[in-house]
Structure 1
Amino acid sequence: MNEAILDVQDLQLHFSQRSGIFGRERAVVRAVDGISFQLRAGETLGLVGESGCGKSSLGKALLNLHKPTAGTVMYQGKDIAGLSDRAMREYRRSLQIIFQD
């Protein structure tokens, strides 16, 4: 069996949202809440779901455009959170995300 090229474990992405008069009340939006999967060479992943269910947020977290609240994204055995700027650019070039717009 091939090693996973992309290994996502318990990924969470939460956003703080202010509401109410003067923005005093805070709510937490759980855009992505505990997703795990692996992709191996030659595999393709498609995400389908209702509007607002976290598909684009997950894609942005995989590209490290949004910092995950918890969990890990490993690419070829390396945690993307620790990649240098140059390595991050190379990593992003290796992924292809097609947004629904």
Structure 2
Amino acid sequence: MFILPNLNEWNRQSVNVMQAMLGMISPNFRMVTLDHDGTKWLIGFVLEIVNAEDCEELNDFEAEWEALQDDPTPCDFQISYTAESLPMPHAPKRALYRRREVVLIQD
């Protein structure tokens, strides 16, 4: 069934993601996003490089996020690795965390 969440659900899941992230963000994390495709929540993590400690934190995140749900909540956790420039996501996708990065402008 295709149902878009209302604003209260978006806000609740945003807080749940941030609560589940407490203490897990390392300098390797570049961005964390929340989106919904009509059937499930999409939580995206962009890291700069593959790192065993961060991978373990991401596994812990899934359990922490699920523990914050009142009922079984369909979700897909998406992890990508890149050092390329990251555009800001377009609504309704939310950036819940974004690392401060220096953009070098070449002449």
Using structure 1 for the length normalisation, give the TM-score: 0.34
**More strand, by proportion:** 1
